[in-house]
Amino acid sequence: MSSPGYLPTLEKRTSWRERSGPRCIVLQTGDNFSLERAVAPPATKTPTRFLRNALGRAVVVKLNNGTEYRGKLVCLDGYLNIVLENSAEFVNGELKRRYGDTLLRGSNVLYVGTITE
């Protein structure tokens, strides 16, 4: 009922090689066919490692209500409660107030980012 070659077949795998570093692997199966599969790079930065490296550096902390605080990250705990030194409060991008030390409750934190100076 079906003729030979009814279903497409892949030729025998001939070689594996890496292209563009470890992120892309090419499977060569013949002269005119290759299948590329993207491979995710290993996770080099975890949130914990990022926050540990941010200690002592200038950071921006955005809260759930849209308010941003900028200052030096002095301390944080497992609940993401954050202490900033020499901090400033920004609302809609405008400086509203300057503080010495500030404690931000972790449940209100939307994100933390470093500031490059």
49-64 residue pLDDT tens:
899 899 999 999 999 9
pLDDT tens per residue, range 27-43 = 444 444 444 444 555 55
* Highest CATH level, class, for 47-114: mainly beta
Given a cut of 90, is residue 103 above it in pLDDT?
A: yes
Domain ranges of the chain: 12-42, 47-114
Residue 80: count of CB within 10 angstroms of its CB: 16
The model's pTM is 0.61
pLDDT digits (tens, 9 = 90+) for 106-117: 999 999 999 986
